[in-house]
Chains A and B, each alone.
Chain A
Amino acid sequence: MLDRLTEFFFPKQVSTYASDIDSLYFFIFYSSVVLFFIVVFGMVYLSIKYRHRKGEDLKLTSSKDHSNLLESMFFIIPLILVSITFVWGIRSYLKMVIVPDDAIEIKVTGQSWFWTFDYPDGGTTLNELVVPSNKPVKLVLSSKDVLHSFFIPVMRSKMDCLPNRYNIMWFDATKEGVYDIFCTEYCGTGHSQMGAKVIVMQPAQYDEWASELGSEDDDLPLDELGAKLYTKKACNTCHTLDGSALVGPSYLQTSQMWGQERVFDDGSSTVIDDNYIRSSILEPMTKIVAGYQGVMPTYQGLLSDRELDALIAFLKTLNEDSQI
């Protein structure tokens, strides 16, 4: 019964402290329901019982306006309930902030509008946080630009990412699976697209994954690797493949204009070719396409040369006519 209710109100419980927080929720929830029914019942009962009936004369009403017993009850019962809530809230909170010593440490960087994860043994991922199950994971969070907030509903945890200092959060994932990550601090145009996934693996599987991190894509043909990178490196947050404009121009449009002039907001123009794409990825703020805002972060250091080649190859495949 309680499990069914928990499922109704909450996402899955995946961290060790999640059930504790949900129990606190249900304690407040049931207390509130009782208090709420007292309020509504009192309101309905008194207003109907003492309603002014048709034809009844106006009369002098009771001068009763206090009752020490009732008032002390209204004071003491909520006081007891909120005291329990307060202490419970703090005790559970301490579980959420005291990081176990053996936690593996992953660096999380928020940036408009994607997440970068740096792993302890080298290697990074974008928008995919991979962690082992049943092992504490400590996240060190910061931001490269404006405020972001890193929220994993199934873990019941959340922490702001600041550009000038590090914040810490930790969890111990109890169930393998793929779960949502959301940005919960407003960060501009792409805020609602700044989602990511956390992938919880068996520890053995995680170790294997970590050792292969970065090398798995070596065998892929360039255009297939590019297609993969398009979502993996969060290009899709701002650039569509169907020609519609999001934050930035669609890849399809760029692909269709291959070899033609592109006009920038300062009036200058360039022919779209491999070098233009490369510099647009590495130095996006130097040439801003007319009609768009210059908001793209640089991918300098986030993409290898092979990955850059792959993205360019992928972009070219989008338009059949542009096979040059």
Chain B
Amino acid sequence: MSNKTKQNYLNHPKGIMSWLLTLDHKRIGLMYLFSGILFFFLGGLLALVMRFELAAPGNDIISNEVYNNVYTLHGAIMIFLFIIPAIPGALGNILLPLMVGAKDVAFPRLNLASFYIYSFGALFAMYTIINGGVDTGWTFYTPYSTQSSSNVVPMTLGIFIIGFSSILTGLNFIATIHKMRIPGLTWYKLPLFVWALYGTSLVQITATPVLAITMVLLMLERFLGIGIFDPALGGDPVLYQHFFWFYSHPAVYIMILPAFGIISEIIPVHSRKKIWGYKFIAYSTLSIAFIGFLVWGHHMFTSGQSVFSQIVFSFITYFVGIPTGVKIFSWILTMYKGQVSFTPPMFYALSFLFLFTIGGLTGIFLGAVALDIHLHDTYFVVAHFHYVMQGGTIVAFLGGLHHWWPKSFGVMYNQTIANIAALGVFIGFNGTFFPQFLLGLRGMPRRYATYDEQFVELHSYSTFWSGILGISIFIAVMNLFWSFIKKNKVDPGSNPWGGMTLEWTHTSSPPHPHNFEEEPVLQHGPYDYDKVIVDKTYKK
């Protein structure tokens, strides 16, 4: 077992080309992971620049123009270069074939192609930054985006290209889940992370084309002067909003469903307890993915759409809220009569439950049309979606990284530092974003480079805590990387948390280049903590 020369996917085969041209889903996953973390830090740095500019009213550090570029790039990088492609791309790629007992994804070459398409798109985004940025907001609302002299075209072209990567990854995952499961691994025995990836992939392949088409139309309008969205050319700017949110609301579920999947893995494993309401969680994943397509109009409550549309969109919006709420209760009840360990992944999962509940509940305020009109495009919305995207998705992502780190690399990080950093993220996050709810209620509009004196106190408070948040995230990630270089590496064993899914029970850590040394035979369900006590090591 402790044979040092043992082959694993990290050391075999060797050489830079074996990485760049790899067809191994685990290596491709790692490439997504490292590029994702890079963009995450870049986006985070931009966020800190914004927060420090907003510490006091007036243009203290940067001008209006620079601020507009910074906030646009922060949003575009976080969403289009990090959360959407990199989270399913990294954790999904590394784990999906292992979880279904396959040697690889259904189409390994396509998988590599997806990564390069993503990188190619990311190059356009980087060109945008070098060439002076883009100042339209990540939403590219027309007619501002058809008139702006900044780099709208390179950025939208980048997003258009990354869309293909999303679609192909989605296709690949769906085919893998349908066709590559080992015998006996029926749908109801799949780990819930796989269900989450399935829901995510469905949304990716159905919604992304709409975004791609919208971006093409925007470019056509800029290049050829065809009037689609710009009223000066005979177009309609509200049409753009419909197209854009028809993709971008479902995209919220591309971002949050993988997080749901991660939490559904972490909580049962670290509570050593069968998950509460397996089928409900599985089906609600699909129903949320579906209903997510029908609520885009709630982003447009002040656009002047008809009263009837407002009522319908408000009504359907609440249908997303209820299954999500029941999921939260299911995760909590999973701990009932379990054996809960306060490990770093579990800390992140508990932190997720706290933060995501606030994110979800504040969505109820925004779904009520009359109240939304006051809160629309204020800091209340900014706080709400950061509670969902950062408090939800990114906290879950960090939890997932800590959970699967020993599996992916065969090393364990310092758990005490990891717990302290997790606490820092939790406190720093609340300190940064909770005051923003109040700012929004009191009327502070979003996307302002400077602001009125009355908002100073809450803004400076938010800025102070954003520093703590930034440092904590940095420590959390560096602590993970430190596990590569520290001396006296401790072998955590193949299954340090006592997981029951195939990636824990049937292969070594890090896994064999072909995942499993022989085809795994399913001995129990993914969360059968009531039936079997799993050994913490994989015996071969």
Q: Report chain B residues within 8 Å CB of A154.
A: 443
Contact of B274 among A63, A67, A70, A146 (CB under 8 A): A63
Is there a chain A Cβ closer than 8 Å to B485's Cβ?
no
Is there a chain B Cβ closer than 8 Å to A4's Cβ?
no
Known contacts A28-B365, A61-B339, A86-B314; decide if A145 and B378 are in contact (CB<8 Å).
no
Known contacts A47-B350, A159-B302, A163-B231; decide if A71 and B277 are in contact (CB<8 Å).
yes
Interchain CA distance A85-B317 in the complex, whole Å: 12
Is there a chain B Cβ closer than 8 Å to A174's Cβ?
no
Q: Please tell me if the beta carbons of A184 and B450 are within 8 angstroms of each other in the complex.
A: no
Residue of A at shortest CB range from B438?
A9
Q: Report chain B residues within 8 Å CB of A195.
A: 452
Q: Please tell me if the beta carbons of B367 and A89 are within 8 angstroms of each other in the complex.
A: yes
Known contacts A58-B533, A157-B374; decide if A51 and B448 are in contact (CB<8 Å).
no
Of the listed stretches A31-39, A127-135, A248-256, A312-320, chain B binds A31-39
Q: Please tell me if the beta carbons of A192 and B449 are within 8 angstroms of each other in the complex.
A: yes
| A142-181 interface with B by 8 A CB criterion | 145-147, 149, 151, 153-154, 156-160, 162-165, 167, 180
Known contacts A35-B361, A61-B339; decide if A24 and B354 are in contact (CB<8 Å).
no
Q: Please tell me if the beta carbons of B442 and A188 are within 8 angstroms of each other in the complex.
A: no
Q: Please tell me if the beta carbons of B302 and A160 are within 8 angstroms of each other in the complex.
A: yes
Q: Please tell me if the beta carbons of B367 and A85 are within 8 angstroms of each other in the complex.
A: yes
CB distance from A159 to the nearest CB of B (A): 6
Q: Report chain B residues within 8 Å CB of A93.
A: 307, 310-311, 369-370, 373
Contact flags B130-158 to A (C-beta < 8 A → 1, else 0): 00000111000101100111000000000
CB distance from A127 to the nearest CB of B (A): 14
Is there a chain B Cβ closer than 8 Å to A79's Cβ?
yes
Q: Please tell me if the beta carbons of B275 and A65 are within 8 angstroms of each other in the complex.
A: yes
Is there a chain A Cβ closer than 8 Å to B271's Cβ?
yes
Known contacts A39-B353, A43-B332, A61-B273; decide if A185 and B141 are in contact (CB<8 Å).
yes
Contact of A58 among B339, B361, B450 (CB under 8 A): B339
Q: Report chain B residues within 8 Å CB of A71.
A: 277, 280, 326, 329
CB distance from B97 to the nearest CB of A (A): 27
Interchain CA distance A75-B326 in the complex, whole Å: 7
Is there a chain A Cβ closer than 8 Å to B18's Cβ?
no
Is there a chain A Cβ closer than 8 Å to B484's Cβ?
no
Of the listed stretches B31-39, B232-240, B258-266, B461-469, chain A binds B232-240
Contact of B443 among A50, A60, A153, A191 (CB under 8 A): A153
Contact of B370 among A56, A79, A96, A146 (CB under 8 A): A96
Q: Report chain B residues within 8 Å CB of A206.
A: none
Is there a chain B Cβ closer than 8 Å to A97's Cβ?
yes
CB distance from B295 to the nearest CB of A (A): 13
Q: Please tell me if the beta carbons of B336 and A164 are within 8 angstroms of each other in the complex.
A: no
| A8-49 interface with B by 8 A CB criterion | 9-11, 17, 20-21, 24-25, 28-29, 32, 35-36, 39-40, 42-43, 46-48
Listed residue (A39, A193, A293) with the most chain B CB atoms within 10 angstroms of its CB = A39
Contact flags B12-27 to A (C-beta < 8 A → 1, else 0): 0000000000000000
Q: Report chain A residues within 8 Å CB of B304.
A: 159-160, 162, 165, 167
Interchain CA distance A95-B371 in the complex, whole Å: 12
Q: Please tell me if the beta carbons of A183 and B276 are within 8 angstroms of each other in the complex.
A: no
CB distance from A27 to the nearest CB of B (A): 9
Contact flags A71-98 to B (C-beta < 8 A → 1, else 0): 1001100110011011011111111110
| B300-322 interface with A by 8 A CB criterion | 302-304, 307, 310-311, 314-315, 318, 321-322
Q: Please tell me if the beta carbons of A89 and B65 are within 8 angstroms of each other in the complex.
A: no
Is there a chain A Cβ closer than 8 Å to B335's Cβ?
yes
Is there a chain B Cβ closer than 8 Å to A276's Cβ?
no
Is there a chain A Cβ closer than 8 Å to B446's Cβ?
yes
- How many cross-chain pairs have Cβ atoms below 8 Å apart between A and B? 274
Q: Please tell me if the beta carbons of A75 and B322 are within 8 angstroms of each other in the complex.
A: yes
Q: Report chain B residues within 8 Å CB of A189.
A: 64-65, 68, 135
Interchain CA distance A66-B278 in the complex, whole Å: 9
Is there a chain A Cβ closer than 8 Å to B357's Cβ?
yes
Interface size (B, Cβ < 8 Å)? 91
Q: Please tell me if the beta carbons of A182 and B445 are within 8 angstroms of each other in the complex.
A: yes
Interchain CA distance A135-B365 in the complex, whole Å: 29
Q: Please tell me if the beta carbons of A97 and B307 are within 8 angstroms of each other in the complex.
A: yes
Q: Please tell me if the beta carbons of A32 and B445 are within 8 angstroms of each other in the complex.
A: no
Q: Report chain B residues within 8 Å CB of A47.
A: 271, 335, 340, 342, 346, 350
Q: Report chain B residues within 8 Å CB of A247.
A: 64
CB distance from B294 to the nearest CB of A (A): 15
Known contacts A64-B336, A163-B232, A192-B448; decide if A25 and B149 are in contact (CB<8 Å).
no
Interchain CA distance A91-B342 in the complex, whole Å: 47
Interchain CA distance A205-B373 in the complex, whole Å: 31
Is there a chain A Cβ closer than 8 Å to B123's Cβ?
no
Interchain CA distance A66-B449 in the complex, whole Å: 50
Q: Please tell me if the beta carbons of B364 and A66 are within 8 angstroms of each other in the complex.
A: no
Q: Please tell me if the beta carbons of A147 and B141 are within 8 angstroms of each other in the complex.
A: yes
Known contacts A184-B378, A189-B64; decide if A52 and B272 are in contact (CB<8 Å).
yes
Q: Please tell me if the beta carbons of B332 and A46 are within 8 angstroms of each other in the complex.
A: yes
Contact of A50 among B237, B278, B337 (CB under 8 A): B337
Is there a chain A Cβ closer than 8 Å to B161's Cβ?
no
Q: Please tell me if the beta carbons of A62 and B337 are within 8 angstroms of each other in the complex.
A: yes
Q: Report chain A residues within 8 Å CB of B137.
A: 186
Is there a chain B Cβ closer than 8 Å to A190's Cβ?
yes
Q: Please tell me if the beta carbons of B314 and A188 are within 8 angstroms of each other in the complex.
A: no
CB distance from A7 to the nearest CB of B (A): 10
Interchain CA distance A146-B147 in the complex, whole Å: 9
Q: Please tell me if the beta carbons of B531 and A160 are within 8 angstroms of each other in the complex.
A: no
Contact of B236 among A164, A182, A186 (CB under 8 A): A164
Is there a chain A Cβ closer than 8 Å to B287's Cβ?
no
Q: Please tell me if the beta carbons of A65 and B373 are within 8 angstroms of each other in the complex.
A: no
Interchain CA distance A153-B365 in the complex, whole Å: 16
Q: Please tell me if the beta carbons of A185 and B369 are within 8 angstroms of each other in the complex.
A: no
Is there a chain A Cβ closer than 8 Å to B529's Cβ?
yes
Is there a chain A Cβ closer than 8 Å to B11's Cβ?
no
Residue of B at shortest CB range from A90?
B311
11 A-B pairs (CB sep. < 8 Å):
A47-B335, A51-B341, A61-B339, A65-B275, A97-B307, A145-B147, A153-B443, A158-B376, A188-B148, A192-B450, A195-B452
19 other A-B residue contacts (CB within 8 Å) besides A94-B307, A162-B237: A28-B365, A32-B362, A36-B361, A39-B332, A50-B340, A52-B272, A61-B271, A71-B326, A75-B322, A89-B372, A90-B314, A146-B144, A153-B374, A158-B373, A164-B231, A186-B144, A188-B148, A192-B64, A192-B445
* Residues of chain B at the chain A interface (Cβ within 8 Å): 64-65, 68, 135-137, 141, 143-144, 147-149, 231-232, 236-238, 271-278, 280, 302-304, 307, 310-311, 314-315, 318, 321-322, 325-326, 328-329, 332-342, 346, 350, 353-354, 357-358, 361-362, 364-365, 367-374, 376-378, 438, 441-443, 445-452, 498, 529-533
Closest 3 A-B residue pairs measured CB to CB? Answer: A153-B443, A89-B368, A63-B530
